[in-house]
Structure 1
Amino acid sequence: MRRRLVHRIPVRVRHYWKLLATCAAFVVVCAVVFSTVRVTPLVTSSATTADRVRQNIAGTTALFDPAVAHRITVTFRDEDYQRLLDEFWEEGEKSFLEADLTVDGTRVPSVGIRLKGNSTLAGLTRNGEARQRGFGPGRPPGGGQEPGPGGDAPVGGFPGGDPAGAPGGGARGGAGPGGFARASLKAEEPETLPWLIRFDEFVEGRRYQGHREIAVRVAGMGGGSTVLNEAVSLNVLAAADETAQRYAYSSFTVNDRPTTARLIVEHPDEGFADTLGGDGVLYKSLATGQFTDQGDDPTSYADDFKQITMKGSQDLQPVINLIRWVNTSSDADFDAHLDDHVDVQALARYLAVQNLLLNFDDMAGPGRNYYLWYDLDTKKFTVVGWDYNLTLTGDAKQGPHDASRMGGRFPPGGGAAPEGMQPPEGMQLPEGMQLPEGMQPPQGMPGPGGDTAGAQGRPNGFGGHKLKERFLASAAFKPVYESAYRDLYRRIYADGTAMNAVDSITTVLSTVAGYDQQKTATDAEQLKTLVRQRTEHLATDSVITSG
């Protein structure tokens, strides 16, 4: 019997079994001896651009022509959609499903679409039930508060918000009263959900007018029902010659569901990077990122940054070097050498415009909504803004040196949350989201990902960013920031650009199929009130009048 079993082994194996055994033993020894040695990849290839484009669909109309009412239809199988929902509900995974797309009459088969967003999706319900990691299991949209009239959002937003507006009495744009209003999202209404459309997910190398991805935006917290605030912000950014993604409004039809009017925005992918000029690497900050020194191992930063371009020819090391320097340099060194690492003028303008647009969810916000562009020629970083659906929703009286926070302004240096401002009992924060400094969760309330506030060494503050904080705290850079602020105030508010943008965008939106006249009129009027108040208030601020 034993001989028969032996003969079943191939002849070559039987002849060279000693050599094979020696090789196997060598592998085991290497695994044991060298398992603690970290291997650092060496990049030897030259700088290169994105994946090879094999097909670029021309279409009939420029996709991001903001003066045109566009048309988008999406068709997919319901069983694929239910599978996508199952994976998101059970595992938190946002996987792609295959769909057929038609853009302004041009058919694009087999595109990939997936849900997009973090805190935006926290209020998503399915068959009336919220996800376990949403704002509390089984709780209604709005973080556990009862929905307002029509079920759109909880009345008053976060408790403690001024009924007449945000804390401080300023008007709000786009969301109605309160500090934490949000759109109600239902899985049964895919035409209202936030989507990322990827043209090459199932067809390699395909682009649509040079775009690999586009985002179908949703209002989320505080953005009204039309996302008018984000469109206006992108409009004024472009008018002020600041880096901004392109946008347009489009009708949006999913299968045989009702048509809705949606804002579509250029996604910061490889194609967007090509518009930034020169040779460089684009890195996306993740919602879980903290901008803290975590050592030399690039894998330790996997939850902080994602490299978008030049994979294989460049790596994350420049970002690691920047993080370490910002976190360890002395104040004198920071003031003297920041310009060696970062484009100081561009940083000042980025921070000024976030304040002007009342964007609490910028690079220091809960979503960490920014990109880093590393110029390979100058060896300097530039901060690139992204995700402006929470702009123009805070306190119109926020000053140039006030810190933006959810629901309104906080004094310089942070300070405590407004008296009585507490999240709803039982509320669970979305993944990556943290509470404002000085704001304590109700007893027993889990923090992001189920951890209590401050767990795993994460700060308790609602965001925060060392580069932003050190720059704004430095007396050396105060003149640079204030000069940028004055210039951008004139370009955005004093010249009437923001007010004119509201009117022109509303006019285009009124021609888009699925547009809601009443909601658009309400959003536009609230936004105009905020723009008017902000223009008037800042006109008397010493930063503006001193220039």
Structure 2
Amino acid sequence: MHPRLPQRLLHRIPVRIRHYWKLLAVCAAFLVACAVVFSTVRVAPLVTSASDNNGDQVTQDVAGSTDLFDATRAHKVTLTFKDADYQRLLDEFWDEGEKEFLEADITIDGTRLDSVGIRLKGNSTLSGLTRNGQSRPGGFGGGRGGQLPQRNGNGGFPGGGQGALPGGDQQGGFRPGGGFGMSSLKAEEPETLPWLIRFDEFADGRRYQGHREIAVRVAGMGGGSTVLNEAVSLNVLAAADQTAQRYAYTSFTVNDRPTTARLIVEHPDEDFADTLGGSGVLYKSLATGSFTDQGDDPTDYADDFKQITKKGSQDLQPVIDLIQWVNGAGDADFDKHLAEHVDVPSFANYVAVQNLLLNSDDMAGPGRNYYLWYNLKTKRFSVVGWDYNLSFSGSATTGPHDTTSMGGGRFPGGGNAGANGGALPQDFQPPAGMQLPGGGRGFGGMGGNKLKERFLASTAFKATYDDAYRKLYKKIYAGADALNILDGITKVLGTVEGNNADKTRSDADQLRNLIVQRTEHLAGDAVITDG
């Protein structure tokens, strides 16, 4: 007989539960015991093989009609999906912050693929997203029903100019569409949102021209409505023989919505890793990361890095070893042994080019926008750049040894951080409800990277850096390469359906002026003239 309960309460309990209450009680007691006994046991992922195989089988590679990343021509992409599925995707993002895939059909340059996966992409990028005029919890609105902060008369937010954080004078910076995290996005306009398109999400083993994923980049972060700054950056990087993703401009139509011109970019996935040369492991730095020593448990680094390739055959240990060494080595040890951990010439090129392109959100920026490539043969790391929509966003007069990232000595727009060393001014008050990325770590939660900082601070690597800077300046600016590339890209963009000719002209003019100013200023710098 069930323990005595008031009769009216007893009959509210389902019959099956009343019949088997003893068995259920035993099961519950067992679960409680397990929780008590094993709650202090640390569980760490194990790798059972030392192979370097990805284990990702490609069963279908759709050829298409035209090279998707032929940047010399306009492309055409259409997406169709059910609105009910889209609303469920938004519900999941709004309530849980999860970016789930929804099933869609896509047509690329006339080639149709059914059942691809698409999801929202970005962190700070999506912080300005609204739905029915209201921001989501954790966005700038600061909670359900919160309103976005109102822009001031200059197009920026209170306390800053043209969407930039306080402290920046524009000084030629290319910021026609707003600054970091200040893009205005509406859920009702899916044709304007940042998307990740995955070809095998609902069709195992499928690729499109060898690509598993492509990214549809968003306008308005630092490059205006055209994202010309990112396209130019990717092009000049490739022209200077630096690692960069491929890109193209395309018309972009979602369901029966208006067509827009969008920038699509090769996503650094397993297939991109195959282009990096040799056998290695690709790791993505996460915006929530800090590059600080958090002990030996790999699970404690889950917010810092995500392993992209060779899952199951390799693990995160090489990254943990690098982080611990960089944070623990003395100055003499750092200078003497850095080359055992990092490909120094490659790293010097990476750091130099971020300065040259005025990228205010590189590996030391708030978005921690970079990947680590670990060469399994040499046992050394290289840094792979990613996400250049905040390039050309600083002062044209930034010098080779000035810091361009938001986490360093200059704010985007050219203002100097002064004694704060990259921290936000003590009297800075973000717009009502604005939540700074990164959980408050570094630069008010907005940047810093120990590897980059120590490398630039060391006199042992100054000559290596200066030499890399000088050579890259000549490739990017001295021969007017960047200007010629800008003109070529602008011409192609003008042929894309959905392009706004007036905005393209305005963005191109501003970017052209910045490139000219930067070229002229650096031409007289000692790093360039003394070489």
TM-score, normalised by the number of residues in structure 2: 0.87
Q: Does 2:413 align with 1:429?
A: no
Displacement of 1:497 in angstroms is 1.0
SS at match of 2:191: helix
Q: Distance in 1 between matches of 2:130 and 2:162?
A: 28
Match for 2:58: what amino acid?
V
Structure 1 segments, 4+ long, off by >6 Å, are 28-31, 162-166, 416-421
Distance 1:414 1:465, change over 3 A: farther
Counterpart of 1:14 in structure 2 is: none
Contact 2:157 2:431 in 1 (8 A): no
The alignment of Structure 1 onto Structure 2 pairs a total of residues equal to 496
Q: Does 2:498 align with 1:514?
A: yes
What does 1:354-503 align with in structure 2 at a 5 Å threshold? 354-404=354-404, 405=406, 406-409=411-414, 410=416, 415=421, 422-432=428-438, 448=439, 453=440, 460=444, 462-503=446-487
Distance 1:58 1:276, change over 3 A: same
Match for 2:174: what amino acid?
G
Which stretch of structure 1 is more off in the superposition, 372-381 or 120-129?
120-129
Distance 1:39 1:136, change over 3 A: closer
Q: Distance in 2 between matches of 1:92 and 1:33?
A: 30
Q: Deviations over 1:184-234 (max 9, x none)?
A: 211111001000000010011110000000000012422200101000000
Match for 2:258: what amino acid?
P
Q: Distance in 2 between matches of 1:49 and 1:253?
A: 34
Distance 1:428 1:400, change over 3 A: same
Q: Distance in 1 between matches of 2:351 and 2:187?
A: 36
Distance 1:307 1:541, change over 3 A: same
Distance 1:428 1:375, change over 3 A: same
Which stretch of structure 1 is more off in the superposition, 390-399 or 266-275?
390-399
Q: Alpha carbon RMSD of aligned pairs, Å?
A: 2.8
Counterpart of 2:140 in structure 1 is: 135
Q: Distance in 2 between matches of 1:522 and 1:103?
A: 29
Match for 1:467: what amino acid?
L
Counterpart of 2:259 in structure 1 is: 259
Counterpart of 2:116 in structure 1 is: 111
Counterpart of 1:242 in structure 2 is: 242
TM-score, normalised by the number of residues in structure 1: 0.85
Q: Distance in 1 between matches of 2:470 and 2:158?
A: 33
Contact 2:352 2:400 in 1 (8 A): yes
Distance 1:269 1:186, change over 3 A: same
Q: Deviations over 1:296-335 (max 9, x none)?
A: 1111110100000000110000000000000000100000
Displacement of 1:49 in angstroms is 2.8
Displacement of 1:29 in angstroms is 9.0
Contact 1:47 1:310 in 2 (8 A): yes
SS at match of 2:284: strand
Q: Distance in 1 between matches of 2:455 and 2:491?
A: 40
Counterpart of 1:170 in structure 2 is: 171
Q: Percent identity at matched positions?
A: 65
Q: Deviations over 1:439-478 (max 9, x none)?
A: xxxxxxxxx4xxxx45xxx674621000000000000001
Q: Distance in 1 between matches of 2:432 and 2:206?
A: 46
Displacement of 1:36 in angstroms is 2.6
Distance 1:411 1:401, change over 3 A: farther
Contact 1:159 1:420 in 2 (8 A): no
Q: Does 2:85 align with 1:77?
A: no
Distance 1:67 1:421, change over 3 A: farther
Counterpart of 1:55 in structure 2 is: 60
What does 1:236-315 align with in structure 2 at a 5 Å threshold? 236-315=236-315
Match for 2:103: what amino acid?
E
Counterpart of 2:94 in structure 1 is: 89
Q: Distance in 1 between matches of 2:42 and 2:135?
A: 45
Q: Distance in 1 between matches of 2:38 and 2:130?
A: 51
Q: Distance in 1 between matches of 2:109 and 2:163?
A: 43
Match for 1:391: what amino acid?
S
